[in-house]
């Protein structure tokens, strides 16, 4: 599909896309590092929130600031910044997630001059009333910081509009997830991945249009694609930035039917209540959506969520994609695996580095795993 090819060009060369956008329209661009970045507010301030990933050109400059036992995502993002490739950013927003992102923000603040640098120190627990109140307070403060940093007032109307756009994107993405779950043949894993990445980079209203077009096309052609007998898999972990994994799965006669990833369903899940005041509603979504392991929303909620997802998607197995040196995910893995074991759901653990590409070893492991399903 042409539309997807267009998106792929953007995803493969995000900086040229962003630079062009900036040159042509004066668009302000703000980098973010995690799915807890309150993008709706950045959008309402007239800036484009862009989720950053590492580079594939190796780590050199970041070595002078972060040791080798820091996750490759954090080191990679710092490398991109230090090498000047992120000079086009007008600002950076660091939501408080893990110990590594926390220090990335400090290192960034001390070494890279940006017109705008904001820490959004969200609560770590999401379930108590005082934490909810604090979450709302933090968003209010962030709104003021943005207004000052970008010299742009955020009106109620801007916020309401931002909520509408994000809700629309999330609704369509949810539809895309459903479509894939019903008939995984509708699009290749690589293409699915491209759409997700584009959602984190592209000017959001333009992306919404493209997404709507892609969806209606897919819905039309869905009935022609005959269902296959490939084994159905769910991906679980933090980020998945290597599209090769999808190829490896498909080559081994598997398909991805669902995911529990920060760069996946966790980013799109759950809508913002449009009947509440916007900030309150945005805070509510962050508190109630499926949580990332760096946040506390109960002792077993993530495991239960995954078991339910596997059942809902009628999946045959789960592939854990754990980024090396990522503490929050590594701590949750044993208990979640136990819960899946008890349900007799087979699992495969893959330890990944952000920059490395999938190799032959991955292919073999995937084949062995899919054969036993």
Partner 1 sequence: MNSDNSDFLKTLGIYLLSQAKKFSLKFKKAPTMKDLMMVYYSEAKSARLTGKKVAWITSGGPVEPLIAMDIIPIYPENHGAMIGASKMGAGLCEKAEAMGYSNDLCSYARSDIACATVNGGPIGGLPRPDMLVCCNNICGTVLKWYEVQARYFNVPLFILDTPFCHTGYSEEAARYVRAQIDEYILFIEDACKKKYDFERLRQVGHLSYEGQQLWQAVLDTAAHRPAPMSAFDAFYHLALIVTLRGTKEAVNYYQQLLATMKDRVARGISVVPNEKYRLLWDNIPIWPRTRWLSQKFASHNACLVADTYTSAWCGAMKYIDESKFLDSMAEAYTRIYLNIGVDEMAKMVIEMIDKYNVDGFVLHSNRSCKPYSFGQLDIQRIVEKERGIPCLMIEADMVDDRSFSESQISTRIDAFMEIIKDRKKTEG
State the CB neighbour count (10 A cutoff) for residue 353.
16
Residue in this structure with the two tokens 């910081």, named with its chain if needed: 145
Q: Which partner, ligand SF4, partner 1, none, binds residue 102 by CB below 5 to 8 Å per kind?
A: partner 1
Cβ 45 to partner 1, closest distance in Å? 20
Q: Is 332 exposed, middle or buried (0-12, 13-18, 19+ CB in 10 A)?
A: buried
Residues 86, 119, 98: CA angle, nearest 5 degrees = 90
The Cα–Cα gap between 208 and 196 comes to: 12
Give whichever of 87 and 327 is closer to ligand SF4, judged by the CB atom: 327
Distances from the Cα of 267 to the Cαs of 20, 262, 349, in angstroms? 26, 6, 22
Single residue of 100, 242, 265, 347 touching ligand SF4 by CB under 6 A: 100
Cβ 286 to ligand SF4, closest distance in Å? 16
Q: Which partner, partner 1, ligand SF4, none, binds residue 238 by CB below 5 to 8 Å per kind?
A: ligand SF4
Distances from the Cα of 278 to the Cαs of 41, 44, 119, 130, in angstroms? 10, 11, 21, 19
Q: Is 113 exposed, middle or buried (0-12, 13-18, 19+ CB in 10 A)?
A: exposed
The Cα–Cα gap between 133 and 138 comes to: 9
Cβ 116 to partner 1, closest distance in Å? 14
Single residue of 41, 62, 235, 294 touching ligand SF4 by CB under 6 A: 294
Cβ 66 to ligand SF4, closest distance in Å? 11
Which residue's CB atom is positioned nearest to ligand SF4? 326
**Binding positions for ligand SF4, 62-81, rule CB under 6 A:** 71, 73-74
Select the span of 85-93, 194-202, 325-333, 338-346 touching ligand SF4 (CB under 6 A): 325-333
The Cα–Cα gap between 111 and 51 comes to: 20
Coil/strand/helix, residue 32 = strand
Cβ 238 to ligand SF4, closest distance in Å? 4
Q: Does 126 bind ligand SF4 (CB under 6 A)?
A: no
**Binding positions for ligand SF4, 217-276, rule CB under 6 A:** 238
Coil/strand/helix, residue 327 = helix
Single residue of 47, 50, 98, 255 touching ligand SF4 by CB under 6 A: 98
Cβ 71 to ligand SF4, closest distance in Å? 3
Strand blocks (E) in 53-176: 91-95, 117-120
Q: Which partner, partner 1, ligand SF4, none, binds residue 125 by CB below 5 to 8 Å per kind?
A: partner 1
Q: Which among 248, 233, 193 is positioned nearest to 366, based on CA atoms? A: 248
| Site for partner 1, rule CB under 8 A | 64-67, 69-70, 96, 98-100, 102-107, 109-111, 119, 121, 123-125, 128, 130-131, 133-134, 137-138, 141, 293-294, 296, 299-300, 322, 324-325, 327-328, 330-335, 337, 351
Question: Residues interacting with ligand SF4, by CB under 6 A?
Answer: 71, 73-74, 97-98, 100-101, 238, 294, 323, 326-329
């Amino acid at each position: 599909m042409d539309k997807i090819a267009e998106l792929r060009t953007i995803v493969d060369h995000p900086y040229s896309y962003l630079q062009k956008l900036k040159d042509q329209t004066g668009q302000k661009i703000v980098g973010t590092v995690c799915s807890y970045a309150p993008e709706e507010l950045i959008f309402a301030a007239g800036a484009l929130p862009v989720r950053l990933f590492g580079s594939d050109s190796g780590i050199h400059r970041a070595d002078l600031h972060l040791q080798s036992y820091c996750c490759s995502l954090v080191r990679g993002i710092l490398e991109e910044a230090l090498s000047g490739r992120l000079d086009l950013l007008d600002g950076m927003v660091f939501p408080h997630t893990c110990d590594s992102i926390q220090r990335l923000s400090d290192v960034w603040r001390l070494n890279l001059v940006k017109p705008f640098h904001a820490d959004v120190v969200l609560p770590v627990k999401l379930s108590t009333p005082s934490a909810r109140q604090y979450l709302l307070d933090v968003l209010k403060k962030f709104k003021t910081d943005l207004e000052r940093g970008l010299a742009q007032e955020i009106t109620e109307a801007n916020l309401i509009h931002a909520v509408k756009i994000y809700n629309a994107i999330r609704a369509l993405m949810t539809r895309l997830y459903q479509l894939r779950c019903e008939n995984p043949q509708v699009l290749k894993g690589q293409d699915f991945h491209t759409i997700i990445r584009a959602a984190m980079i592209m000017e959001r209203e333009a992306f919404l249009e493209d997404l709507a077009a892609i969806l209606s096309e897919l819905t039309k052609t869905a009935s022609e694609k005959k269902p296959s007998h490939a084994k159905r898999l769910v991906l679980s972990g933090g980020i998945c930035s290597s599209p090769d994994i999808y190829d490896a799965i498909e080559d081994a006669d598997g398909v991805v039917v669902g995911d529990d990833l920060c760069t996946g369903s966790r980013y799109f899940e759950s809508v913002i209540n449009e009947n509440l005041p916007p900030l309150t509603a945005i805070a509510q979504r962050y508190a109630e959506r499926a949580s990332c392991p760096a946040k506390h929303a109960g002792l077993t909620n993530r495991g239960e969520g995954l078991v339910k997802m596997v059942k809902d998607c009628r999946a045959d197995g789960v592939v854990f994609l754990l980024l090396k040196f990522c503490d929050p995910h590594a701590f949750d893995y044993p208990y979640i695996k136990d819960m899946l074991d008890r349900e007799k759901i087979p699992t495969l653990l893959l330890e990944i580095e952000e920059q490395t590409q999938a190799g032959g070893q991955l292919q073999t492991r995937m084949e062995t795993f899919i054969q036993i399903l």
